[in-house]
Amino acid sequence: MEDILNLRYALDTFYFLVSGALVMWMAAGFAMLEAGLVRAKNTAEILTKNVALYAIACIMYMLMGYGIMYPEGGNGVIPSFDFSFMLGGDNDPAAVLKQDAAGWYDGDYYSGMSDFFFQVVFVATAMSIVSGAVAERMKLWSFLMFAVVMTGFIYPMQGYWKWGGGFLDGLGFQDFAGSGVVHLAGASAALAGVLLLGARKGKYGPDGQIRAIPGANMPMATLGTFILWMGWFGFNGGSELILSNVGEANSVAAVFVNTNAAAAGGVVAALLTARAIFGKADLTMTLNGALAGLVAITAEPLAPSPIWATAVGIIGGVLVVFAILSLDKLKIDDPVGAISVHGVVGMWGLLAVPFSNADATFGAQLTGLLVIFGWVFAASFLVWMIIKATVGIRVSEQEEYEGVDISECGLEAYPEFVGSRGSGL
Contact set for a copy of itself, span 232-291 (CB under 8 A): 233, 237, 243-250, 252-254, 256-257, 260-261, 263-268, 271, 278-284, 286-287, 290
Which of 54, 146, 155, 173 is close enough to bind a copy of itself by CB under 8 A?
A: 54
Question: What character string, x for contact with a copy of itself (CB under 8 A) and - otherwise, covers 88-117?
Answer: x-xx-x--xx------------xxxxx-xx
Measured from the CB atom, the residue of 2 and 72 that comes closer to a copy of itself is 2
Q: Is 185 in the site for a copy of itself (CB under 8 A)?
A: no
Which of 40, 126, 312, 371 is close enough to bind a copy of itself by CB under 8 A?
A: 40
* Residues 298-317, interacting with a copy of itself (CB under 8 A): 304-307, 310
- Residue 331 CA to residue 271 CA, distance in Å, equals 24
- Residue 385 CA to residue 295 CA, distance in Å, equals 29
Q: Which of 300, 260, 295 is nearest to 175 (CA)?
A: 300
Q: How far is CA 255 from the centre of its chain?
A: 18
**In degrees rounded to 5, what are phi and psi of residue 79?**
-80, 155
* Residues 317-376, interacting with a copy of itself (CB under 8 A): none
Interface size with a copy of itself, residues (CB under 8 A): 132
In the chain, what's the furthest Cα-to-Cα distance? 74
Measured from the CB atom, the residue of 191 and 320 that comes closer to a copy of itself is 320
Which of 229, 235, 377, 384 is close enough to bind a copy of itself by CB under 8 A?
A: 229
Measured from the CB atom, the residue of 188 and 286 that comes closer to a copy of itself is 286
* Residues 114-173, interacting with a copy of itself (CB under 8 A): 114, 116-117, 120, 140-141
- Neighbouring CB atoms inside 10 A of 233's CB total 19
Stretch that binds a copy of itself, among 38-46, 174-182, 371-379, 390-398 (CB under 8 A): 38-46
Measured from the CB atom, the residue of 43 and 188 that comes closer to a copy of itself is 43
Q: Is 408 in the site for a copy of itself (CB under 8 A)?
A: yes
Question: What character string, x for contact with a copy of itself (CB under 8 A) and - otherwise, covers 15-34?
Answer: xxxx-xxx-xx-xx--xx--
As measured in angstroms, the least distance from the Cβ of 21 to a copy of itself is 5
Stretch that binds a copy of itself, among 51-59, 126-134, 149-157, 363-371 (CB under 8 A): 51-59
Question: What character string, x for contact with a copy of itself (CB under 8 A) and - otherwise, covers 55-94?
Answer: xx-xx--xx---------------------xxxx-xx-x-
As measured in angstroms, the least distance from the Cβ of 83 to a copy of itself is 10
Residues 316, 296 contacting (CB under 8 angstroms): yes
Q: Which of 81, 102, 104, 75 is nearest to 91 (CA)?
A: 104
